[in-house]
Structure 1
Amino acid sequence: MCELYVKADPILYESRSRSLRIRGVVTTLRLENQFWDILREIAEVDGMTTNQLIAKLYEEVMDFRGEVVNFASFLRVSCTRYLAQKAGRQVPLRVVGAAG
């Protein structure tokens, strides 16, 4: 089983920074290449650029929650939820056993 993980091309987990404009402010996000690829795929499905998708996600999470403590982590979780949904698995709204 571990071969699936340990034999992954190191370029997939190499981090890359990208600058984009969110709410009129230029900001930099640092994510692993694998997540940039998934975000690009989500954006293409939704007919947007990756930067447009990220800005939209930021707007939506701010409208819904009022804050986002770690936006890069939010994007990573969004990617894993997209992949689970794409694979036909139920996507939970919260972690079982989590406080709150």
Structure 2
Amino acid sequence: MCQVFISADPQLWAHRSRSIRLHGVATSIRLENLFWQVLAEIATRDGFTVPQLCTRLYDELVAERGAVDNFSSFLRVCCTRYLALQLSGEIPQDMRVPIRSLSPQAGVRAALRH
């Protein structure tokens, strides 16, 4: 079983930090390269840059939850949910379909099943 996972390109789990401005405040986000790649894919689908996507996600999280304890972990979960929702068919594989055009209830229904 482990061979399936350890045969992955080591660059995927190498991490890097990026400095992103959230409302004028510079913050450093450290993620593995695989997560940066997934964030770039999500951002591209909706016509955002990765910093714009991160700002949007941060704003929506603050509006919904009021506080952000660990934004890097939140971004990892966003990426993992995005991939899982693609596999379940809740998010189309077609990159021309923006995420913002999808019903949030579909993602909630999929999460409740898992």
Range class of TM-score, shorter chain: 0.7 to 0.9
Structure 2 portions without partners, runs of 5+: 90-108
TM-score scaled by length of structure 1:
0.88
TM-score norm. by structure 2 comes to 0.77
The structure 1 residue matched to 2:110, chosen from 85, 91, 99, is 91
Gap runs ≥5 in structure 1: none
1:41-80 matches, cutoff 5 A? 41-80=41-80
Q: What is the percent sequence identity of the aligned residues? A: 52
Q: Which has the higher contact order (CA 8 A, sep 6+)?
A: 2
Kindly report the root-mean-square deviation, in angstroms, between the aligned alpha carbons of the 2 structures.
Answer: 1.8
Using the alignment, how far apart are the partners of 2:110 and 2:58 within structure 1? Answer: 20
Structure 1 residue 43: Cα displacement: 0.3
Cα separation, 1, equivalents of 2:6 and 2:28: 29
Q: How far apart in 1 are the matches of 2:58 and 2:44?
A: 18
Over 3 Å off, 4+ runs: none
Partner of 2:3: 3
Q: Helix, strand or coil for the counterpart of 1:92? A: helix
Structure with higher helix content: 2
